[in-house]
Chain A
Amino acid sequence: MWLTVLALAGTGIIAGMFGAMLGLGGGILLVPALTLLFGLPMRVAVGVSLIGVIATSAGVATVARPGRSADVGLALRLEIASTLGALLGSLAAGALSSEILALLFAGITLATAVYTYLKTRRRLDPAVADASEALFSIDYRPTHWPAGLSLMGLAGALSGLTGTGGGFIKVPVMYSLMDVPLGVATTSSNFMVGITAAASALLYYSRGDIYPLVAVPTAIGVFVGALAGVRMAARLRVEALRKMLIVLLVLVALQMAWKGLHGG
């Protein structure tokens, strides 16, 4: 038993570290690890992953700094759509087969890989790098509310269905579509993924899809990993890790697609 517990905690540490460093929540790594490495049913993996996303959000929150913080007003407005989507998504997840959930997850993982790749390119672009002082500007006005709210609803639904935080949709929607500064978008997303995941997690918890023996070591590992990730992000060059993550995500997407198509 202890070997499995340690393995789960180790998986959680890695997921939490990447989740905090890249603003992804960590669920994108947890779900495939729990299904492919530990052989858990998809629905249970999603439930445990949602707890992991909350742990990542809480871990990041313990070291939150005023002045480089989330736009709480904006985040809560968008969360109305996102939590509603999460509620509907988690209700639908109870009726969908593991194969369909696996295929859906494969699509999301690929989308995350593309998003991470685009983010890497943007970071390497000197024109954007020079604009880093505007990351936490307060002089902005969010635009395109109807489209933003609709996409947040979609992000919430996917979160409830697949156990991810939906950060890979939330950050680009706020940044690219709604004209929110990148730093504000990332920190707001970190705040938002916890709320979205909690809305779904309560449903999964009530349904008995969250196994304490699996969720506890994973959550502890994720929390520790998130704390480490926040500290490491300030010191390390994240680009190399980001590239590694892209390769990992593509492999995971292919494996999940295989699982979905062949029921393995």
Chain B
Amino acid sequence: MLDESSSPPADKMAQVSADKRATLTLRRVARIVAVPSLFLMFGGLLAYGVGSRPFLAFGWGGLPGSAAVSLARLPGGWRASSGEAAMSLGLLALAFVPAITVGLVLRDHLRDRRWKEAAVAASVVAIMALSAVLGKR
């Protein structure tokens, strides 16, 4: 249950400390997942539009783009298929950035045995998972 009362100062300070750690988590996930996903998408876009070879995707799209472009030789012409595969993969990775962030916040709460906060974060993750499952139907 959510109460309307104020948290005691000690709890508030613990909350501030948790928020500080969550901010660092948020920044880390954005830099480690979101930025490479954008490079991957850029590589895919180049591959799709220019018909660039993997080395071009490596130069412009980064290593993930190069790997996806090299590996995803799907039917329908490698230009379109590999480029689309890289773009779709990048989009999917970007869409999962918030879920990964909340997941890591949940992990931190579980480590600190902050059960109430962990339950809240778990609920958000569960609703996001439900969204993905419902979309499949």
A interface residues with partner B (beta carbon < 8 Å): 1-2, 5, 51, 54-55, 57-59, 61-67, 69-73, 76-77, 79-80, 83-84, 86-87, 90-91, 138-139, 141-145, 149, 191, 194-195, 197-207, 210, 212-213, 215-217, 219-220, 223
Binding site for A on B (CB under 8 A): 2-7, 12-13, 15-16, 18-20, 22-24, 26-27, 29-31, 34-35, 38, 41-42, 44-45, 48-49, 84, 87-88, 90-92, 94-99, 101-102, 105, 117, 120-121, 123-124, 127-128, 130-132, 134-136
- The CA-CA distance from A158 to B2 in the complex, in Å, is 24
Query: Would you call A219 and B130 a contact (CB within 8 A)?
Result: no
CB of B91 within 8 A of CB of A61, answer no
Q: Is B23 within 8 A of A216, CB to CB?
A: no
A61 x B41 contact (CB < 8 A): no
CA distance A132 to B12 in the complex (A): 21
Contact (Cβ within 8 A) B120 A76: yes
22 pairs from A and B in contact (CB 8 Å cutoff): A59-B34, A61-B101, A62-B27, A64-B30, A65-B23, A69-B22, A70-B23, A72-B23, A73-B18, A73-B117, A76-B124, A83-B127, A87-B130, A87-B131, A138-B13, A141-B7, A195-B124, A205-B92, A206-B136, A216-B91, A219-B41, A220-B41
Question: In the assembled complex, which residues on chain A have CB atoms less than 8 Å from the CB atom of B13?
Answer: 138
CB atoms of A198 and B97 under 8 A apart: yes
B27–A64 touching, CB < 8 Å: yes
Contacts A54-B97, A62-B31, A219-B38; A206 near B132 (Cβ below 8 A): yes
Which one of B23, B30, B131 contacts A202 once the chains associate, using CB atoms below 8 Å? B131
A143: B residues at CB distance < 8 A: 4
Q: Is the CB of B24 within 8 A of A66?
A: yes
Whether A90 lies near B131 (C-beta < 8 A) is yes
B-side contacts of A90, CB under 8 Å: 131
Does B127 lie within 8 Å of A87, measured CB to CB?
Answer: yes
Query: Which 8 pairs across A and B sit closest by C-beta, in order of nearness?
Result: A206-B135, A141-B6, A69-B23, A61-B30, A58-B34, A212-B87, A72-B22, A203-B135
- In the complex with contacts A70-B22, A73-B18, A83-B128, A5-B45 CB distance below 8 A: yes
Q: Is the CB of B22 within 8 A of A223?
A: no
The reply to whether A216 and B22 form a contact with Cβ atoms under 8 Å apart is: no
A212 x B84 contact (CB < 8 A): yes
Q: Which residue of B lies closest to A206 (CB)?
A: B135
Task: Tell me the complex Cα distance, A67–B24, Å.
Answer: 11
- Which residues of chain A have C-beta atoms less than 8 A from B7's C-beta? 141
Question: CB distance B98 to A194 under 8 Å?
Answer: yes
Are A220 and B120 closer than 8 Å at their CB atoms? no
B24 — which chain A residues lie within 8 A by C-beta? Answer: 66
